[in-house]
Amino acid sequence: MNNIKTKFLPTTKKEMDALGWDQCDVILISGDAYIDSPFIGVAVVGRILEQLGFKVGIIGQPDIKSDDITRLGEPKLYWGVSGGSIDSMVSNYTATKKFRNSDDYTPGGKNDKRPDRATLVYTNLIRRFYKNTVPVVLGGIEASLRRVTHYDYWTNKLRKPVLFDAKADYLIYGMGEMAIREFSLALRDGTDPRKVRGVCYISKEPVEEYIQLPSHQECLDDKEKYIDLFDHFYQNNDPINANGLCQKVDTRYAIQNPPCDYLDEKEMDEIAMYPYQRDLHPYHKPEGKVKCLETIKFSIQTHHGCWGECNFCAIGVHQGRTIRTRSEANIIQEAKDFTKMKDFKGIISDVGGPTANMYGYECGKKLKKGTCDDIRCVDFDRLCKVMKVDHSRSIKLLRDIREVPGVKKAFVASGLRYDFIPADKKHGYTYLKELVEHHISGQMKVAPEHTSDRVLKLMGKPGKQPLIEFKKMYDRLNKEAGKKQFLTYYLIAAHPGCEERDMHELKQFTTHELKMNPEQAQVFTPTPGTYSAVMYYTELDPETRKPIFVEKDTLRKEKQKNIVIDKKYYQRRKSSGASMQS
Please report the DSSP string for 472-511 in residue order: HHHHHHHHHHT---EEEEEEEES-TT--HHHHHHHHHHHH
**CA nearest to 416, candidates 396, 436, 401:** 436
Q: Residues for the chain: how many in total?
A: 582
Main-chain dihedrals φ then ψ at residue 456, nearest 5 degrees: -60, -40
Q: How many CB atoms lie within 10 A of CB 18?
A: 11
**Contact at 8 Å (CB) between 46 and 28?**
yes
Longest dimension (CA), the chain: 78
**Computed from CA positions of residues 293, 38, 23, 28, in that sequence, does the dihedral angle turn out positive or negative?**
negative
Contacts of 64 (CB under 8 A, 6+ apart): 115, 121, 122, 125
Distance CA 14, CA 37 (A): 22
Enclosing H/E stretch for 447: strand 443-449
Helix (H, G, I), strand (E, B) or coil at 306: coil
Tell whether residue 377 is among the known ligand binding residues. no
**CA nearest to 359, candidates 407, 309, 408, 303:** 303
What residues pair up with 172 in beta bridges, in sequence order?
A: 199
Q: Packing angle between helix 554-565 and helix 500-512, nearest 10 degrees? A: 20
**Contact at 8 Å (CB) between 171 and 40?**
no
What's the CA angle centered on 369, arms 364 and 373, to 5 degrees? Answer: 105
Pairing between β-strand 245-249 and β-strand 211-212 as defined by DSSP bridges: parallel
Tell me 515's DSSP state.
-
Main-chain dihedrals φ then ψ at residue 508, nearest 5 degrees: -65, -35
Tell whether residue 219 is among the known ligand binding residues. no
Helix (H, G, I), strand (E, B) or coil at 518: coil
Taking the mean position of all CA atoms in its chain, how far away is CA 175? 10
**CA nearest to 423, candidates 460, 458, 467, 457:** 467
What's the CA angle centered on 392, arms 391 and 394, to 5 degrees? Answer: 65
Tell whether residue 306 is among the known ligand binding residues. yes
What residue type is assigned to position 419 of the chain?
A: D
**Contact at 8 Å (CB) between 58 and 47?**
no
Report CA Rg, the chain: 24
H, E, C per residue of 193-246: HHHCCCEEEEECCCCCCCEECCCHHHHHHCHHHHHHHHHHHHHCCCCCCCCCEE
- Which residues define the annotated binding site? 306, 310, 313
- Which residues define the annotated binding site for [4Fe-4S] cluster? 306, 310, 313
